[in-house]
Each structure stands twice: as C-alpha cells, then as structure tokens.
C-alpha cells in the first residue's frame, strides 16, 4: 500500500485549559485535510489530532478518515484495533517519575538498562496501529517497570522489579553503597507466531508453521551510582540475561548524566557485551514487530524468516559493544543516537537516531528519525531496506504563525493472509507537503 499526501493543511491551535495548568503545559487542537492517493486511487482525507494536558494527565487522539468514490474507505475501520487506535495515548506522569502510565502507542520503550527491551515500538506501521500499556512505579527503596504491547491480540509483555537493599538497613545514608540497585526482569512474546522457525508445505498453496522452543527471557541486573550529584551523575552497572531453551549473555557498562543549569543536558552510555551461543542482545528492539516473522513465496515455495530463527542460528560465542548519547541544548536542539554491534558477526549492527531543531523565533524547523538493523559495514548504514524506519521534516516560517514543510517517511504496510492475519510487512514511502498554521491564544 503506497500513500502520497499531495496537499495537507494542518491547523494547530494552542488553547489554555483550566486555571491550574502551568505555563509550560500545552493544549492544542490539530486537524487537517488533503488529497490522499492509496494504491493509485484518490481519497479526500480528514484528520483530527487534539492533545490536552492538565496536571500530570495528558491525552492525544488521532482520527483518520479517507473518503473515495464509494464513501468511507473500509480499511479505516475494518477491525476492533482501528477504533481503539483513535486514542493515540492517555498518559499520567513521565518515565522515571514516581508514577508513570501510558496507554496507546508505545515508542522508544526501554526496560531497565535495555539489555532485553530497548527502544521498542509497538506500532511501526500506520495501517496496523496498536494499543499497548506502560506502567511504572518508582519509590525510594523499590519500584517496577512494566509494558504490554497490544490489547487487541496476544503480544509482548515485560516486567522488571527492583529494590535498593541497603535502604532497608542502617546503611541507608552511607554514600555510594546505599544507592545499590538490584533488579530482575522477565519478558515473553505471547503472539501465536513468536516462536515460528520454519514452514512445511501441506499441499498446493497450503502450509503449516513449524514452531521452536519457547523463547521467553529473564535477566538480573545491578546498578551502583559512583557519583550522585545534581549536575553530574555516574553509574556502574552489569546485567545477566538468559533465554529459556537458548543462550545467555553478560553486559557491563557506565552511564554518565550531565545537567548544567538546564542549558545543557547530556546522557552518555558505554557498554561491553559477552554472549554465548544462541543469544541476541536487546532482542525486543525498535524493529521487533517487523522482524518477528515474515512469510514470502518464490516459485511456489513458501519461506519464513523470523527473529527466533535468527536466534537459533547463532552457534558461536561473541563479544560486542553498545554506545548511546542524548543531548538537549537549552530546549532548542535535541539529539539522540545509539549503536550496537557484535565484533565479528556480519550484519549485526543496529542504529537508532533522532534529532530536532526548533530555534525559538528563528524561521527554520527540522526533525528526523532513523532506525536501522542488519548493519554490516559503513556503506550499509544509510541504505534503506526492509529493516529500516525513517522520517524527516524540513520547514520554513515565511510568517510568524505559518510553517511550510515537507515530510518524508519510510515505514511499512502490513501484508495479511486470507484470515486477515499479518504475515509480513512491505516497505511504504510517503511524501507530505504540509502547510501548518500555529497560533497561540
């Protein structure tokens, strides 16, 4: 399915709601209409995307309607998840606050140090949006992190529970050691095709899946803050991760956090990894929903490629590395990047990048994001393929409240079987010339 938004008029209006809202919280009504081409057929498109925030609560909706010669396009609302996906998110608090909860789309979701679940995205396709849940509690002496990917069908579940054991003793005020954190994580994908490792033909045009052993995973972790100040924080950590019926890995790393008068915020992470046979670090990553299982046919022969198939096919011990950097310059420029790779395994590199520049009263705006798996050498880093998700927007403000921009997106459209089950994703490109009116009240 290929979409080309030819004209999109996006009206964004910021509304002050209720007296108790702080000046930093924003409320806006966003709507748009345009001409939309889907598989060569023209549709008139209407979108309504309001966002409201009051106190710690936030809600965002996303209603998308396509009207063609036969009326409303049936694919807009042909299953229960389409109705649920109107709720883009309902949120309370923020990640790492004492209470955080979000229901709806989950993106860049990480559990613990990221050795099992890292930058997970439950909705990599616009046409297969999902409603998931993230719920965390963070207390002085204990806490937990949880997530579930999809309420419409069985999906990925993960939970991490942690304690600061010395906070329960007379050593609760001792520097460094009192901050020791010990955690345990369990994650499992309950999707009925999470363990598919092959396929057997049962007749002309028919086949059945061959499943492997359960690939659920658990982990243990320790974290120790060496320096714990308001401007500078350093943490030493180590993780042990084991796949049930498969291999294990050990991780060790350092985290650095810098906060200089709110003008410069930076987070740096460096990690070394030692893995056994049949092990993949950060198994549930940003492209996991795409990588879970793919079905293809060639010359009448059905083939399956799956994440667990890749896991089972690793037959050597490996050493790898991971690094990430996040920077925020006075809330004008934000940049995040991470890269991970096994030293001697070809095509094991994974890259995640995001950046945004919004220079206040300056007439320019830019944002971009890029996730890529299967990286071998440097020449393949920016080669878009079936393991790539990317977006970019460049804009100019000819007048104070008017933004003219172009948005490019490389994403995926779901491929379904005769029973409407998603069996694959195919690349989908979108180009959106966009005119936006932003007028604060």
Supply the pLDDT for residue 15: 31
pLDDT (mean) for 176-196: 94
Parallel/antiparallel/unpaired status of strands 364-375 and 318-329:
unpaired
101: pLDDT strictly greater than 50 = yes
396: pLDDT strictly greater than 80 = yes
145: pLDDT strictly greater than 50 = yes
For 355-388, the DSSP string reads: EEEE-TTSSEEEEEEEEEEEE-SGGGTT--STTE
Per-residue CA distances from 261 to 228, 264, 332, 333 (Å): 16, 7, 15, 16
User: How many domains is the chain built from?
Assistant: 1
Tens of pLDDT, residue by residue over 338-393, are 999 988 888 889 999 999 987 767 788 899 999 998 898 888 888 888 788 888 98
pTM above 0.85? no
d(C-alpha 27, C-alpha 441), whole Å: 10
Taking the CA atoms of 313, 315, 317 and 318 in sequence, report the sign of the dihedral they define. Answer: negative
Tokens 């990894």 locate to 273
Given a contact cutoff of 8 angstroms between Cβ atoms, the answer to whether 72 and 66 are in contact is yes
251: pLDDT strictly greater than 50 = yes
**Coil, strand or helix: which one is 80?**
helix
d(C-alpha 223, C-alpha 299), whole Å: 53
The CA angle 200-422-61, to the nearest 5 degrees, is 165
Tens of pLDDT, residue by residue over 75-95, are 666 666 667 678 888 999 988
Supply the pLDDT for residue 41: 67
Supply the pLDDT for residue 28: 62
Tokens 């998931």 locate to 132
**pLDDT tier, 191 (very low <50, low <70, confident <90, very high otherwise):** very high
Exposure on the CB side of residue 123, measured as CA atoms within 13 A: 22
Tens of pLDDT, residue by residue over 221-233, are 999 999 887 788 8
Closest CA to 146 of 187, 104, 105: 187
3-state secondary structure 271-316: EEEEECCCCCCCCECCCHHHHCEEEEEECCEEEEEEHHHHHHCCCC
Provide the domain limits for residue 50: 3-440
pLDDT (mean) for 402-416: 76
Token output for 58: 């936030």
């Amino acid at each position: 399915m290929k979409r080309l938004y030819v004209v999109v008029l996006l009206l964004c209006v910021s509304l002050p709601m209720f007296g108790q809202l702080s000046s930093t919280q924003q409320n806006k009504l966003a709507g748009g209409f345009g001409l939309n081409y889907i598989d060569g057929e023209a549709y008139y498109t209407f979108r309504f995307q309001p966002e409201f925030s009051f106190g710690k609560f936030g809600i965002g909706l996303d209603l998308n309607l396509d009207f063609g010669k036969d009326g409303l396009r049936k694919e807009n609302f042909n299953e229960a998840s389409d109705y649920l996906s109107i709720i883009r998110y309902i949120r309370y608090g923020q990640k790492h606050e004492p209470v955080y909860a979000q229901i709806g789309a989950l993106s860049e979701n990480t559990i613990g140090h990221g050795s099992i679940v890292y930058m997970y995205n439950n909705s990599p396709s616009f046409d297969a949006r999902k409603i998931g849940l993230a719920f965390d509690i963070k207390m002085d002496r204990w806490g937990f992190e949880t997530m579930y990917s999809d309420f419409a069908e069985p999906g990925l579940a993960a939970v991490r529970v942690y304690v600061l054991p010395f906070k329960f003793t007379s050593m609760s005020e001792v520097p460094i050691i009192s901050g020791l954190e010990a955690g345990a994580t369990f994650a499992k994908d309950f999707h009925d095709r999470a363990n598919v490792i092959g396929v057997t033909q049962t007749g002309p045009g028919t086949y059945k899946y061959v499943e492997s052993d359960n690939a659920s995973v658990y982990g243990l972790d320790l974290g120790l803050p060496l320096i714990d100040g308001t401007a500078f924080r350093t943490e030493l950590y180590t993780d042990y991760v084991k796949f049930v019926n498969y291999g294990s890995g050990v991780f060790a790393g350092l985290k650095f956090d810098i906060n200089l008068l709110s003008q410069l915020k930076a987070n740096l992470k460096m990690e070394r990894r030692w893995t056994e046979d049949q092990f993949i670090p950060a198994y549930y990553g940003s492209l996991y929903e795409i990588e879970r299982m793919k079905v293809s046919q060639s010359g009448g022969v059905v083939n399956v490629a799956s994440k667990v198939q890749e896991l089972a096919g690793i037959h050597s011990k490996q050493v790898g590395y991971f690094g990430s950097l996040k920077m925020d310059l006075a809330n004008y420029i934000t940049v995040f990047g991470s890269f991970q790779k096994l030293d001697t395994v070809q095509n094991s590199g994974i890259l995640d990048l995001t950046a945004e520049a919004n220079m206040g009263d300056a007439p320019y705006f830019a944002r971009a994001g890029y996730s890529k798996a299967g990286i071998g050498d440097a020449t393949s880093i920016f080669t878009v393929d079936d393991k790539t998700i990317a977006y970019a927007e460049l804009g100019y403000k000819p007048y104070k409240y008017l933004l003219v921009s172009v948005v490019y997106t490389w994403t995926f459209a779901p491929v379904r079987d005769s029973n409407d089950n998603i069996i694959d994703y195919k690349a989908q490109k979108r180009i959106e010339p966009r005119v936006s009116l932003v007028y604060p009240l």
